[in-house]
Structure 1
């Protein structure tokens, strides 16, 4: 599929958001976080209260470009001209968190194999390795209520997330938030890696080496002190964009 390239009637701030959001979709496809045409990554439209950008329904994430993204309102309805539709039912989860938290300008939700596998475990993400410790006491959990079509679930989702940057949707998948594209993608990239490592670890069927609580808290704080710095996240995001510029430059169209 394709979309007409261009910036007609789009502000510079919105176009920059579109480019970064398209980059998130392409990166998610590159790292195999996708579920064909389902799930979403969304971003608030700068300067337009209650407006968001989302993927056109039916596009593979490898196909998404800055100009193909669709502008919607808080209920998932299109508010801009264009040939592409959206899946408003799938926006239930995103709309809840976007409306409740000013810091959650960017939201990413995945159904990856490792993420869904970990979401089915009673104890969820385990503090077994250094990458997982980045999220020690910083991951929330939301009990499964069925496919997220019920708008009444939105308040419960927000309550479950609280002030954490990551949410495990039990028996469903993963979700991360961020004030920028870089922060959101950084959270998902490492949450996915932690889940992949956990699945590999448990598959060995051997005794586990636990990390003491005091050490886990220390490592979590070390992560916050380093990756919490804007410069570090910006460097990582710039590295991701260089990758795309080399292998999938059409995301900017």
Structure 2
């Protein structure tokens, strides 16, 4: 049998751009990350995008009672984070009902209570990793099902390759509801240098060092990848995996925080045009 020799993927010269997807040609319409003149302006932007992420989760059918929590770090007070209110459906989250909490789970702004599980997991990750600005978790159908297998995603596609060597499986506290502080610490330990985690017998978590939009999109993408792998495994056929070098190459170009942010812009534009009440 002849040996197959893999050719290393070539590195692309981005010419100072964040991504190959940014146009070199000037004057074309393309999403640009905004700049802010003060903390209040930045805060309003973050709160609106947090609401957008919640509404996107509603569109995806990620609701499950009061389960699910999304957070983004405050730009002026990084020890505080904005999150969706407890027991409010994702589709009903709006700027006016968001809450601001500290790492102790105390609500410092807002009228609603905080989700205890959200506080335990997210606060621990935010506190342990000052570079992580946003985090997402929800009890989804496919992510929860895949989490029962206690294994990582395989690089079965270009989309799945975005998570190659960039996600972990957390086996500790598997299936036990995360209401104790120690559970949060174990999740925080797992988020060193990765954007996603599969919490065994629990579900999916994503984090971003860039934006809430990125964390939200990669959560949507991770759920989709779990669904695809479960569908393939159900056939009993063994898929042909993306080779390691090509999986890393794809991850580099389609798996970054910036790409997650860029993907979310299509969702954001749809929400702005169809759900103006989210700004109330």
Scaled by the length of structure 2, what TM-score is found?
A: 0.79
RMSD across aligned C-alpha pairs, in angstroms?
1.9
> Within 1, Cα distance between the matches of 2:250 and 2:46?
33
SS in 1 for 2:132: coil
The match for 1:148 is: 178
1:234 Cα shift?
A: 4.8
1:235 Cα shift?
A: 4.0
Structure 1: unaligned runs, 5 residues or longer: 1-9
The match for 1:4 is: none
- If you compute each CA radius of gyration, which structure gives the higher value, 1 or 2? 2
Aligned residues: 239
The match for 2:204 is: 174
> Within 2, Cα distance between the matches of 1:234 and 1:88?
28
> Within 2, Cα distance between the matches of 1:128 and 1:218?
14
Structure 2: unaligned runs, 5 residues or longer: 1-38
Rate the CA distance shift 1:169–1:206 in 2: closer, same or farther, 3 A. same
> Within 2, Cα distance between the matches of 1:112 and 1:104?
23
> Within 1, Cα distance between the matches of 2:178 and 2:261?
33
Identify the range of structure 1 (91-100 vs 29-38) with the bigger mean alpha-carbon deviation: 29-38
**Matched ranges for 1:35-50 at <5 A:** 35-50=64-79
1:166 Cα shift?
A: 0.7
1:24 Cα shift?
A: 0.5
**Matched ranges for 1:61-140 at <5 A:** 61-82=90-111, 84-140=112-168
> Within 2, Cα distance between the matches of 1:236 and 1:126?
22
1:124 Cα shift?
A: 2.9
Rate the CA distance shift 1:175–1:89 in 2: closer, same or farther, 3 A. closer
Aligned residues of 2:170 and 2:197 also touching (Cα < 8 A):
yes
**Structure holding more helix per residue:** 1
SS in 1 for 2:107: coil
CA deviation profile, 1:9-63 (whole Å, cap 9, x unmatched): x933322221111110000110122223212001111201321111111111110
1:184 Cα shift?
A: 1.1
2:223 is equivalent to residue 192 of structure 1:
yes
Aligned residues of 1:18 and 1:67 also touching (Cα < 8 A):
no
2:189 is equivalent to residue 159 of structure 1:
yes
Aligned residues of 1:77 and 1:88 also touching (Cα < 8 A):
no
2:63 is equivalent to residue 58 of structure 1:
no
Aligned residues of 1:144 and 1:172 also touching (Cα < 8 A):
no
> Within 1, Cα distance between the matches of 2:124 and 2:169?
15
Aligned residues of 2:71 and 2:212 also touching (Cα < 8 A):
no
CA deviation profile, 1:186-230 (whole Å, cap 9, x unmatched): 321221111111121112222332333333233323325xx55x4
2:250 is equivalent to residue 219 of structure 1:
yes
> Within 1, Cα distance between the matches of 2:272 and 2:253?
31
